[in-house]
């Protein structure tokens, strides 16, 4: 089945979104930014408009995405899409970009000038395997990349300036062949890597000691049996969140990682004991296929996203893990939201898979406001206001389908219909800029600046 054109679909949905969401548990969504008949934002920021300084108060509902740049990296010409995970380095100079559908390897992109992102390298591998997840290590000059499940190998350590390589001439210095990782997460301050076992027959995730990046050493396997999808670490609390999508356990488990190589379970939240998505109307709080979570850096809250392939779309939850009545050992759900145009995804149409479910996001702390920047598939990049944890709601959105007219997508990514198909958004904040970097599986890497009006 051919998907309807994106602008037509959005036009009808956006006109109804305020009324529909107001009738659900998503209180506060009536304040969404409006879009025109082509599906673009109407609350725009001009190139010459100054951004709010950090001393000015922030009205989260007025924060918006201003596009600064875009690049479609390619090992050759023309680029055919197939992009996946992205991450910004802690200093904001580089972004890394992975691959998934119909392409392979990893890209390093210079984003020091967000208006002109520049490809620094493309590093392929001998098996032409996709490297779905890519993450920077805490030691400058190293990054890690997972090898997709149907290709040989588990993950690799890439040196792009640590000792053996350089940004323009990287080299693989370490690898692990045993097992299979869907996603991987370095500890933010220690030479430890956590890799998920996205497999129903294994336990959740593995821990590796990377003190010597040329010789990764496995220190253990942790978690209940089932498909662990992702893990994330809060270095200040010394806590890890592991999200499980299928198998014997669905939900998330929290671990004490004060000893990073030997995680110890603190608590868990079992989705099987909660209302499922197919039991409620779209917009009502439900649970299923836990995808990944991030801790709020300033408040005792956990943001946990669900991802569903078809049927009712998965949303984003806010959990109290110490904010009021909850704790790390007994998390309490306090908020829930869906993407702006959430609607049922046709289970009989491959091109509709994933369209309106949530995907990878980052926490954006802005003075007394807190937002999430998300790559939410067919929505594009979405900003959510989570300042009030009990009332999370979307406030802005950018449709990442720029340059579609000049795009010739490869056959594999084409199965998912038309762009936008935003994979992830990441955030880098400093005294002089608020940078969001996002990836779209069709149209490449985007850079945005967050702008805001005064309260």
Supply the pLDDT for residue 453. Answer: 66
Mean pLDDT of 244-252: 94
User: Per-residue pLDDT for 40 more than 90?
Assistant: no
Sorting pLDDT into bands at 50, 70 and 90, what band is 149?
Answer: confident
User: Per-residue pLDDT for 79 more than 60?
Assistant: yes
Q: Residues 355, 358, 359, 361: is their CA dihedral positive or negative? A: positive
Residue 348 CB-density burial (10 A; 0-12 exposed, 13-18 middle, 19+ buried): exposed
User: Per-residue pLDDT for 379 more than 60?
Assistant: yes
- Sheet containing 198-209: which strands, arranged edge to edge? 184-186, 192-196, 198-209, 217-234, 239-246, 251-256, 264-270
> Measured in whole angstroms, how far is the alpha carbon of residue 354 from the centre of its chain?
14
Residue 362 near residue 351, CB atoms below 8 Å: no
Tens of pLDDT, residue by residue over 263-281, are 999 999 999 999 999 999 9
| Rounded Cα–Cα distance for residues 83 and 77 (Å) | 15
Write out 341-389 in H/E/C secondary structure.
Answer: CCCCECCCCHHHCCCCCCCEEEEEEECCEEEEEEECECCCEEEEECCCC
User: Per-residue pLDDT for 392 more than 70?
Assistant: yes
H or E stretch covering 287: none
Sorting pLDDT into bands at 50, 70 and 90, what band is 316?
Answer: very high
User: Per-residue pLDDT for 11 more than 80?
Assistant: no
Tens of pLDDT, residue by residue over 16-25, are 333 333 333 3
Mean pLDDT of 197-225: 93
CATH code of the domain occupying 6-451: 2.130.10.10
| Rounded Cα–Cα distance for residues 409 and 399 (Å) | 17
Q: Please, what's the largest Cα pairwise distance for the chain?
A: 58
What does the radius of gyration of the chain's CA atoms come to, in whole angstroms?
20
| Rounded Cα–Cα distance for residues 84 and 81 (Å) | 9
Supply the pLDDT for residue 427. Answer: 98
User: Per-residue pLDDT for 91 more than 80?
Assistant: yes
Cis peptide upstream of residue 420 (ω within 30 degrees of 0): yes
Sorting pLDDT into bands at 50, 70 and 90, what band is 301?
Answer: very high
> Measured in whole angstroms, how far is the alpha carbon of residue 160 from the centre of its chain?
24
Residue 246 near residue 226, CB atoms below 8 Å: yes
Sorting pLDDT into bands at 50, 70 and 90, what band is 125?
Answer: confident
Residue 292 near residue 245, CB atoms below 8 Å: no
Supply the pLDDT for residue 33. Answer: 35
User: Per-residue pLDDT for 42 more than 50?
Assistant: no
DSSP 126: T
Q: What percent of the chain has pLDDT over 90?
A: 76
Supply the pLDDT for residue 223. Answer: 94
Mean pLDDT of 294-300: 98
Beta strands in 72-160 (DSSP E): 83-88, 94-99, 106-110, 118-123, 134-136, 142-146, 155-159
Sorting pLDDT into bands at 50, 70 and 90, what band is 76?
Answer: confident
Q: Which tops the pLDDT comparison, 331 or 2?
A: 331
Supply the pLDDT for residue 2. Answer: 33
Mean pLDDT of 307-317: 97
Tens of pLDDT, residue by residue over 227-241, are 999 999 999 999 999
**What is this structure's pTM?**
0.88
Mean pLDDT of 363-386: 97
Q: Taking the C-alpha atoms of 37, 38, 40 and 44 in order, what is their torsion angle to the nearest 10 degrees?
A: -70
H or E stretch covering 413: helix 411-414
Beta strands in 35-132 (DSSP E): 64-71, 83-88, 94-99, 106-110, 118-123
DSSP 289: S
Supply the pLDDT for residue 344. Answer: 96
Sorting pLDDT into bands at 50, 70 and 90, what band is 3?
Answer: very low
Sorting pLDDT into bands at 50, 70 and 90, what band is 452?
Answer: confident
Residue 342 near residue 313, CB atoms below 8 Å: yes
Cis peptide upstream of residue 238 (ω within 30 degrees of 0): no
User: CA angle, corner 53, sides to 48 and 58, nearest 5?
Assistant: 110
Q: What percent of the chain has pLDDT over 70?
A: 87
Supply the pLDDT for residue 150. Answer: 83
Residue 20 sits at φ, ψ, to 5 deg, of -65, -50
Q: Which of 289, 292, 200, 302 is nearest to 250 (CA)?
A: 289
Supply the pLDDT for residue 127. Answer: 84
- Average pLDDT of the residues of the chain: 88
Total residues belonging to the chain: 455
Mean pLDDT of 384-400: 98
Q: Which of 387, 431, 396 is nearest to 298 (CA)?
A: 387
Supply the pLDDT for residue 365. Answer: 96
| Rounded Cα–Cα distance for residues 34 and 335 (Å) | 23
Q: Which of 365, 451, 454 is nearest to 43 (CA)?
A: 451
Supply the pLDDT for residue 381. Answer: 98
């Amino acid at each position: 089945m051919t998907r309807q054109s994106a602008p037509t679909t959005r036009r009808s949905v956006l006109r109804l979104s305020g009324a529909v969401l107001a009738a659900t548990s998503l209180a506060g969504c009536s304040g969404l930014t409006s879009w025109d008949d082509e599906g673009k934002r109407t609350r725009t920021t001009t190139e010459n408009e100054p951004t709010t300084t950090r001393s000015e108060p922030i009205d989260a509902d007025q924060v918006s995405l201003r596009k600064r740049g875009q690049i479609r990296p390619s090992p050759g010409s023309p680029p055919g899409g197939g992009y996946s995970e992205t991450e910004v380095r802690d200093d904001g100079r580089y972004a890394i970009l992975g691959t998934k559908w119909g392409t392979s390897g990893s890209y390093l992109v210079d984003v020091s000038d967000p208006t002109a992102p520049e490809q620094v390298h493309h590093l392929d591998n001998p098996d032409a395997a996709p490297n779905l997840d890519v993450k920077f290590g805490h030691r400058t000059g190293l990054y890690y990349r997972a090898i997709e499940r149907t290709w040989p190998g588990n993950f690799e350590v890439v040196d792009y300036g640590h000792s053996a390589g350089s940004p323009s001439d990287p080299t693989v210095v370490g690898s692990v062949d045993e097992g299979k990782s869907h996603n991987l997460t370095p500890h933010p301050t220690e030479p430890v890597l956590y890799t998920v076992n996205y497999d129903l027959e294994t336990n959740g995730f593995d821990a590796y000691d990377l003190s010597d990046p040329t010789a990764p050493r496995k220190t253990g396997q942790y978690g209940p049996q089932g498909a662990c999808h992702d893990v994330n670490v809060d270095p200040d609390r010394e806590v890890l969140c592991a999200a499980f999508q299928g198998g014997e356990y669905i939900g998330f488990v929290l671990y004490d990682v004060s000893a990073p190589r030997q995680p110890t379970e603190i608590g868990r939240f079992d989705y099987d004991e909660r209302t499922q998505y197919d039991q409620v109307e779209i917009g009502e709080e439900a649970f299923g296929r836990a995808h990944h979570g991030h801790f709020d850096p300033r408040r005792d809250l956990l943001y946990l996203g669900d991802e569903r392939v078809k049927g009712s779309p998965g949303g984003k939850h806010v959990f109290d893990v110490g904010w009021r009545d909850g704790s790390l050992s007994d998390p309490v759900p306090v908020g829930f939201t869906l993407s702006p145009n959430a609607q049922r995804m046709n289970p009989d149409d491959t091109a509709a898979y994933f369209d309106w479910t949530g995907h990878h996001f980052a926490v954006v702390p802005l003075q007394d406001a807190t937002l999430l920047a998300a790559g939410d598939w067919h929505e594009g990049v979405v900003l959510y206001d989570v300042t009030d944890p009990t009332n999370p709601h979307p406030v802005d959105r950018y449709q990442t389908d720029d340059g579609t007219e000049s795009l010739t997508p490869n056959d594999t990514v084409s199965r998912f219909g038309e762009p936008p198909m935003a994979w992830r958004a990441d955030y880098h904040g400093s005294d002089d800029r608020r940078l969001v970097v996002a990836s779209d599986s069709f149209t490449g890497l985007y850079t945005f600046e967050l702008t805001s009006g005064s309260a």
